[in-house]
């Protein structure tokens, strides 16, 4: 069982990983493993690079999950997500890839990620992915990100 003393980033000086593949996503034991509850991470300033032009892309990610045995350690998640700043990937690859990486690390009962991307070529692209079965009776609020409206 991972305990705070076993973590390599929390409480230590940590550099931003050069890529998502190099990033270490850490987990800790769920302190309420016998209860169904929701954890939400809102990431309003996610950035990656367009794999064609190399220009930056911006998104607001919302990650909701019902933990099982493990929860994501938040500093490691911040560093992992920050490592996308130099990563070239399409919106779909980045959004679904983040969701799959978290699932691989912590095996949640249920996970949903919404990637609300700002326009590229005049078209906003929103990407949604989920896995697992939502525990019965679990309250899951709306993600709260309005659709892109431009200046209107």
Neighbour count for residue 102 (Cβ, 10 Å): 22
92-96 long-range contacts, CB within 8 A, separation 24+: 92/125, 92/127, 94/46, 94/48, 94/57, 94/59, 95/59, 95/61, 95/127, 95/128, 95/129, 96/127, 96/129
- Is 57 a residue of the active site? yes
Catalytic residue among 6, 21, 57, 126: 57
* DSSP-assigned letter for residue 69: S
Residue 139: how many CB atoms within 10 A of its CB?
7
Enter the tokens of residue 87: 């990563």
* Active-site residue identified among 50, 64, 93, 94: 50
Sheet strands side by side (includes 56-66):
39-49, 56-66, 110-117, 126-132
50 is catalytic: yes
Active site residues: 50, 57
């Amino acid at each position: 069982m991972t305990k705070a003393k076993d973590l390599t980033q929390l409480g230590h000086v940590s550099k931003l990983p050069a890529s998502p593949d190099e990033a270490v996503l850490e987990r800790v034991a769920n302190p309420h493993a016998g209860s169904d509850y929701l954890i939400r991470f809102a990431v309003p300033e996610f950035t990656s690079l367009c794999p064609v032009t190399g220009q930056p892309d911006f998104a607001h990610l919302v990650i909701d999950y019902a933990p099982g045995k493990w929860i994501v350690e938040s500093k490691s998640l911040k560093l992992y997500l920050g490592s996308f700043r130099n990563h070239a990937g399409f919106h779909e690859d980045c959004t679904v890839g983040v969701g799959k990486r978290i699932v691989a690390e912590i095996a949640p009962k249920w996970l949903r990620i919404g990637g609300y991307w700002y326009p590229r070529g005049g078209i906003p692209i929103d990407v949604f992915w989920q896995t697992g079965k939502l525990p019965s009776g679990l309250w899951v609020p709306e993600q709260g990100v309005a659709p892109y409206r431009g200046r209107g």
